[in-house]
Chain A
Amino acid sequence: MKEHDNKITRKSFLKAATATAAVAALSTVFQPTLKAFAQTTGSKPKEPGQWKSTTCQGCTSWCSVQVYVVDGRAIKVRGNPNSKVNRGNCCSRCHMSLQQVYDPDRTKTPMKRTNPKKGRNEDPKFVPITWDEALDTIADKILELRKNKETHKYMLMRGRYSYMRDVLYDRMTKIIGSPNNISHSAICAEAEKFGPYYTEGLWSYRQYDVLNTRYIILWGADPLSANRQVSYYLSAWGDVLDHTQVAVVDPRFSASAAKAGEWMPIKPGQDGALAVGMAHILLTEGLWHKEFVGDFNDGVNKFIPGQTVNEEDFTEKYTSGLVKWWNIELKDKTPEWAAEKAGLPVKQIVQVATDFGKAAPRAICWVGGGPAMQVRGGYSSMAAHALNGLVGSVDNVGGTLAGNKEYTVSFPKPDDFMDDIAKKGKKHKKIDHRGRKEFPALKKGKPGSAVITNNAAEGILNEDPNEIKVAIAYMNNFTFSCPQTERWERALTKIPFLVHITTNASEFTHFADIVLPSVHHMFEKWGYVKSMGNGHRHVTLLEPVIKPVWDVHIDETEIPWLLAEKLAEKGFDNLQRHYREYKDPETGKSATTEKEFALYSLKYATHNLWDPAAHKGGDKFSGWEEFKKVGVWNSSSYPYRKRWGKMKTKTHKFEFYSETLKAALAAHAEKYKTTVDDILETCNYQARGEQAFVPHYEEPYLWGSEKEFPFIHVDYKSRLNREGRSANCPWYQEFKDLDPGDVAWDDVAKLNPIDAKKLGIKDGDNIKLISKTGQLECHAKLWEGVRPGTVAKCYGQGHWAYGRVAAKEYGKVARGGSNNEIIPADYDRLSGSTAFYAVTRVKVVKV
């Protein structure tokens, strides 16, 4: 990967600057005259603080960062210059972490609910309790389940996590004896992985080789604003634009569209149509990449609109099923057909597809959550991603890449510590219904292997397959982050004993019986995460760079340890004995306190990275201390084209006809002794027969009739969202207008002026968005960056709890309205993903 010239300049300048700092400071005429800061002694002013390495989890870029600490206080932040992924950069929302860690509304002590009634309008009447009382109560509830042999009625809900997650999420749940560890993954972007998996065998997000590419289609992705590797792409984009054309497919004008050459404001949900239409153009124009895909035996292009092609006439190289795909799906999908569906000009579609094809193989089709996180979105994800196969950019220079190898290890296995109760309990079915006939959830080709986060509410409410009696949740806020939130409010009300581990009293906390205050991940926690970008992978440490502000503990390690201690005290020591297996690789010692455990478990998992004797590749350190200081391990650079012919698909090739999906669907159908067509019908897909195995167009499935709900709601994420957690930062509100079309200190729904005029709505009017399943209130904003017939609204505002800034009145009145109040709970059932986009029809009413 090439480094930037100006970057080098900046670094060397900084170096030189620091060296001369003292001299320069002395020669100034200004004098320190301070009160607290005793420079009056005549000593030279020097940087009094220290830059300490840690990790930002403001979004899933997971940048390695540094915090400037003076006298134990965090003052400011910057990117960690030691990372080859984010290269010393952090994005704008990283700075807001300061207002999170020092948020006055953080919970500073464990608390318990004293109002037994639960509900959105019930004040929980929290009172402070000691850690001992809190843990004691929780341990008793768990032991009661064990006594009654109903451990499957225990549930663990996980939101954002570090890779220490398995201590609490996996191991503790298993050793207690429950199948019900439910993660948030399906409300993230699992369907985005569906396309890459069923074409190239990669169940993962991708990294994009932007510095070497010539054409980028950002498809429902807004990398200059949100997710993933935002700070890397921010740093690279100015140079990217020197040599790369950019087209953006998005119904609303995004931050990335503002810097692109083409904006394709597609009709929501028509992504599959545009994708197959573009594939049709690439083939009819002969623009596929011959080196990757192969060619007709006689070199004459027989992809002629409407005409079937003989499979024997074409010899593929690293791909499989191209002609089948053409015959089954593409031959009739003309640009005119696609234009009609997508609501875009034919000319624009042809132009973008052609320029994209001409740039092959240095052409990236960057598939984000937009086209994927829809009902039936798995197939759009496949269709759009398949364009990368056609232009041969998969695993190629200037293309779409997988993750580099890294060498962290898993925690010890729990099996030996699971007694009969635990083993029996774990055998029960999961509360989210994965694997049922209507929920294939085909993660990595295995039916029933993906989580269906948002459906767990249904499971809890209907006691199906069983009731949930005791639940622990951490770093999540499902009553805010899951569509049709009201279901979660009822579900949480139903759980008799709910524990929330959190920094702020959120909408979820509102329903908790016990609240355990958590550390802030970036400033107070031990942990690690891995992420990729710039042709590298980094493993970056979360470190306690300051002492925890309050009496709080680490969610993923300290708290389970403390709980294990409590359980042992009361006679059940399996968990504690298991945790003692996570020995410090340096001394071989088991932990004796929660603090030791937090550290030893981290050293255990990252052992191969920092111990020179265990080194397997990438950066090498002299030992733990050095790793800790540097804060990040970098892999070696990307080995291009290594996966060509060795992809983890059934054919080991890039599959345009997915044998891999065919097998997965067949396995699921087999489980229910039925046909694949029946499964597709049950799961609300339109494909039948062979079409189910190729990337193809499916009509969007929207809730509500066009007549009653004339607008399509367009949801997207704010560039200031630290996931759902930053709305209580004053800087979030002050700078909300950094999101194109948005307004500071406000929550607006954006309407095209043409539509607004028809409705008699003006800028700033109070309006309601009403869908089939809910409604919200906010302000109107007339904006040209919105496709007529749609209403665009950013996710992030609408908190009615969380803190004094996030909510207009804490616990009572929301600031604006959350999109999840109007989005119905529906799914792309093949991946288990929750639908956020092209699923909600709304009407707009002036109030």
Chain B
Amino acid sequence: MESLEHKNKTQLSEKKISRRNLLKAGGAGVAVLAGATTVSAKNKSKGKRLAMVIDLQHCTGCGGCAISCKSENNVQRGNRWAKVETTTVGKFPNVGFKSLPTLCNHCENAPCVKGCPTKAMHKGYGDITMHSPEKCIGCRTCIAMCPYGVISIHIQETHPHWRSDDALIKGCTSSPKEMTEKVKGNVIPNYNPAREEFREGSGLHYKGIVEKCTLCDHRVTKGLLPHCVISCPCNARIMGDLNDPDSHISKLLVKYSPRRLKEHLGTEPKVFYVREFNPSATKSTKGTV
């Protein structure tokens, strides 16, 4: 165990350097290294295929998932790793309103991974679609490849609003920057350091590169549920291992008819939706012709 750790450490620092080189010149050598990481990561998750089932009957569209995700992952204003997409259908008074919580689908056949020239986007622990900031060159191929629109880019320095020196009432209120300094945060006052445990800089992400949901890899690798799952007051998000036939999600997938987003594209998403957002009973009838 000790030696393995040591080896990995070396690997990672090499990669760090590689990224910088890459930013300057781009490089083919990195791909090899990254490939090795992918394999070893997969080995370490002992063949887990982590997936999420979203039970729409339980979902209320409250947005607890999407907002708490921002607090867990230090996501800046304007970006969202998790969303709640809503649609209104019908005409008054026959109206329907549906919420669909979305996140990275962690596709088995991930187009973003295929398209990434530096393997920054790769398959990691539990087949999570992972992103390594230190290898990302911000080329945005992944954004173009992803059919789900779940990857965002940082064009400028992160959290620009929190870098401001402006106080609303001079001497009486603070500037955003002063607030963060006062509480010893990191650019943002409620900065979550856990986010960067595995990758340098991923706590705040970099200027010029992309970011996306990593299924709270910093938590799941420790056996902790993703924060959106914990934060869902409706118990609509259920995590589990597809390779484990006894997992709760495996049972749900057999019991219900799961749907996946844009199934026809063959991306094999690992976020499954079961049941209906509005399952309410209606009177049985044979209808009319």
Residues on A close to B: CB < 8 A?
Answer: 4, 6-7, 9-10, 13-14, 16-18, 20-22, 24-37, 39, 42, 45, 47-48, 70-79, 89-96, 98-99, 102-109, 111, 126-128, 224-225, 231, 234-235, 237-238, 241-242, 245-246, 253, 255, 257-263, 265, 351, 505, 515, 549-550, 719-720, 730-731, 734-735, 737-738, 740-741, 752, 754, 783-788, 803-804, 810
Contact = CB atoms under 8 A, between A and B. Distances in A.
B280 A246 contact: yes
A30 B199 contact: yes
A33 B9 contact: yes
A104 B175 contact: yes
A9 B234 CA distance: 14
Interface of B: 1, 4-5, 8-9, 12-13, 16, 37, 40-41, 44, 55, 57-64, 66-68, 70-72, 77-78, 80, 84, 86, 88, 90-93, 95-99, 124-125, 161, 166-169, 171-176, 178-180, 182-186, 188-194, 196-200, 217, 221-225, 227, 230-231, 233-236, 238, 248, 277-283
A45 B222 contact: yes
Given A76-B192, A105-B173, A258 B223 contact: no
A671 to B, nearest CB: 47
12 contacts: A16-B223, A31-B9, A75-B194, A76-B68, A79-B233, A104-B168, A106-B173, A234-B233, A260-B278, A262-B280, A719-B62, A741-B97
Contacts of B277: 258-259
A78 B44 CA distance: 30
A515 B194 CA distance: 38
A48 B193 CA distance: 9
Contacts of A234: 60, 62, 64, 233-234
Given A73-B185, A238-B57, A238-B236, A95 B40 contact: no
Contacts of B96: 258
B182 to A, nearest CB: 6
Contact of B60 (A36, A73, A106, A259): A259
A73 B279 contact: no
A797 B84 CA distance: 21
A104 B176 contact: yes
Given A30-B199, A108-B174, A810 B44 contact: no
Contact of A734 (B44, B60, B78, B192): B78
Contacts of B230: 14, 78
B173 A108 contact: yes
Given A104-B174, A734-B78, A784-B91, A91 B193 contact: no
Contact of A92 (B5, B62, B188, B236): B62
A29 B44 contact: yes
A224 B233 CA distance: 11
A393 to B, nearest CB: 19
Q: Which one of A13, A28, A731 has the greatest number of beta carbons of chain B within 10 Å? A: A28
A17 B92 CA distance: 48
Given A91-B233, A259-B60, A260-B278, A33 B13 contact: yes
A28 B221 contact: yes
Given A33-B12, A108-B172, A238 B234 contact: yes
Contacts of B44: 27-29
Contacts of B172: 107-109, 111, 126-128, 505, 515
Contacts of B88: 253, 740-741, 783-785
B195 to A, nearest CB: 10
A70 B185 CA distance: 10
A260 B198 contact: no
Nearest to B234: A234
A786 B93 CA distance: 8
Given A36-B193, A92-B67, A259-B60, 13 more contacts: A24-B221, A24-B222, A29-B4, A73-B189, A76-B68, A105-B168, A111-B169, A238-B234, A245-B280, A258-B98, A731-B70, A741-B97, A784-B95
A92 B77 contact: no
B78 A752 contact: no
Given A17-B223, A92-B67, A258-B97, A73 B92 contact: no
A99 B279 CA distance: 35
A803 B199 contact: no
Contacts of A45: 197, 222
Contact of A76 (B61, B84, B227): B227
Contacts of B59: 238
Contacts of A4: 235
A735 B63 contact: yes
B97 A89 contact: no
Nearest to B164: A104
B233 A89 contact: yes
Contacts of B190: 73-76, 98-99, 102
A102 B63 contact: no
Contacts of A253: 88, 95, 97
A565 to B, nearest CB: 24
Given A78-B230, A258-B97, A235 B235 contact: yes
Contacts of B235: 4, 6-7, 10, 235, 238
A723 to B, nearest CB: 17
A241 B278 CA distance: 9
A126 B168 CA distance: 11
A6 B278 contact: no
B67 to A, nearest CB: 5
Contacts of B217: 30
B1 A26 contact: yes
A46 to B, nearest CB: 9
A224 B189 contact: no
